[in-house]
Amino acid sequence: MTKSSQTPARVRFAPSPTGYLHLGGLRTALFDWLYARHTGGQFILRIEDTDQKRYNPESLQDLMEGLRWLGLHWDEGPDIGGPHAPYIQSQRQPIYQQYANWLVEHGKAYRCYTTEEELEELRARGLPYDRRHRNLTPEQRAAFEAEGRPFVIRFAAPLTGTTTVHDAIRGEITVENATIVDPVLLKSDGLPTYHLAVVVDDHLMEITHVLRGEEWIPSAPLHVLLFEAFGWSAPVFVHLPVILDPSGKGKMSKRKTVVDGREFSPFVRDYIRGGYLPDAMFNFLATMGWSFDPEREIFTREEAIERFDVADISPKATALPFSKLEWMNGVYIRQMDVVALKDAVAPFVAADLGLDVETLRRDPRLLALTPLIQERIKLLTEATALVDWAFLPAEKITYPDPTQLIGKKLTAAQSIEALEAARELIATVEPFEAAALEAAFRSRAEAMDIKLGSFLTPVRVAVTGKTVSPPLFESIHILGREETLKRLANAIQALTAYAATAVERP
């Protein structure tokens, strides 16, 4: 397959604001953006909102937030304008009416006065529209007009011959013109259908390449015919492969589904909220139908821009390997600068703990804890469970199961002794740093003739309220001497009460 032209490309992402942005749409936008950046061209955001019945007022904001989250900033669009504004189709209605009427005037389209009842009768009989008003006489048209009967404008598709669509990754797609049954271009309310609006806008906005899902292949011959009817050159068509759900058994649903016992969401907003990094999602989606290098899974945006070409997109459907996304997210987390990671986890931790996010970002404890958890999390949402104990007052660290305070192969009494010894060490060790604390605890465990792990288990649970935590001595240093002593005292009290109750049992 030959490489596509490297002249600057003008591409557009043209979503319909009828629902939330999903991964398939985001992949299309990503490929658009990559090709624009690769060729030094422009990436345009256009909102195709002619389907007013299904319009969702929250959708546009969700779409734009999802694109910005991934870093796909557009060069022209509804919020920033551009030489071809407006970029919202409902605001371009006079333009479509002008071009629809031009087609009528030049014999390429016609006014159809067929009523909805008449169309319903055809559908009930299993018949397509029969072109009944394609060749009305002037008298017949005048009669309909005198009745005040509403009309639509239909395209007068060729009755014979074939039309060929040249697809950059699929080759030539040819259909019989007779199968294209005069589709509606302009509805009776004056709004265009998708077919008219997309062709007019792609021409006026000077779009050179149209990247869209393969579900639009059946419409492509009609669009080619419309370009020809206007006397315009068609853009290069690139119909992207379907993304299958993680099971690989069907097209990715636009609803949340359960795959292999795990809930899978197709919506981008759920990944933003779920603790995924935009760089990981960028890397992941770029591999859905395009290969950077068979030997490399991880690559930067700059590397992707340098190599991306629409000619290298595969037309084959690909399953969404959900586990790979989590793995990639972990890789990117481990590669992050500590300050950047701290800032990234802060909103999640703050929301979980009811804290002010900006105050938390400035808290030195979060910065100190971040490198301790960096190797342990795959999602930003996992940070809270590892660091929450550091931002809770001592009285909030409770021990619903006091037996967790008992070290391995130790009795409750021996564990209390270990906690008392730990309290003494915390109160006296100088300097109060991780290395000095570790040396002191090792020495005391040896003196008490107990294994270090058994000694540290009660201390870990006392300090964090958890059996698993970031490295203990670093955690104690971050928490501070005074707060650690409070928690040890509370744990001693809780375990003593438990031990007394246990002795009283028959």
pLDDT in tens, 51-97: 877 888 899 999 999 999 999 999 999 999 999 999 999 999 999 99
User: Which residues participate in catalysis according to the annotation?
Assistant: 254
Count other Cβ atoms within 10 Å, centred on residue 136: 16
Kindly list the distances between the CA atom of residue 103 and the CA atoms of 223, 308, 337, in Å, as whole numbers in the listed order.
14, 38, 58
Q: Map residue 83 onto helix, strand or coil.
A: coil
pLDDT of residue 403: 95
Enumerate the H helices of 71-109 as residue ranges. Answer: 93-105
Find the mean pLDDT for residues 159-172: 97
Answer whether residue 145 shows pLDDT above 70.
yes
CA distance 135 to 125: 23
pLDDT tens per residue across span 424-482: 999 999 999 999 999 999 999 999 999 999 999 999 999 999 999 999 999 999 999 99
Does the N-terminal peptide bond of residue 86 adopt cis geometry, omega within 30 degrees of 0?
A: yes
Going by pLDDT thresholds of 50, 70 and 90, the confidence category of residue 252 is confident
The three-state (H, E, C) secondary structure of 292-349, written as one string:
CECCECCCCHHHHHHHCCHHHCCCCCEECCHHHHHHHHHHHHHHCCHHHHHHHHHHHH
pLDDT of residue 249: 74
Q: Is 2 exposed, middle or buried (0-12, 13-18, 19+ CB in 10 A)?
A: exposed
Q: Where are the beta strands (DSSP E) in 180-323?
A: 184-186, 209-213, 236-240, 243-244, 257-259, 262-264, 318-319
Going by pLDDT thresholds of 50, 70 and 90, the confidence category of residue 260 is low
Expressed in angstroms, the distance from the first to the final Cα of the chain is 83
State the chain's mean pLDDT as an integer. Answer: 94
pTM: 0.91
Answer whether residue 254 shows pLDDT above 80.
no
pLDDT of residue 506: 42
Going by pLDDT thresholds of 50, 70 and 90, the confidence category of residue 3 is low
CA distance 187 to 185: 7
Q: In 3D, which of 338, 340, 345, 336 has the Cα closest to residue 379?
A: 345
pLDDT of residue 5: 55
- CA 264 and chain centroid, separation: 12
Strand order in the sheet with 109-112: 109-112, 152-155, 184-186
Percent of the chain with pLDDT over 70: 97
CA distance 154 to 132: 11
pLDDT of residue 505: 44
Tokens of 79: 């919020």
Going by pLDDT thresholds of 50, 70 and 90, the confidence category of residue 503 is low
Going by pLDDT thresholds of 50, 70 and 90, the confidence category of residue 319 is confident
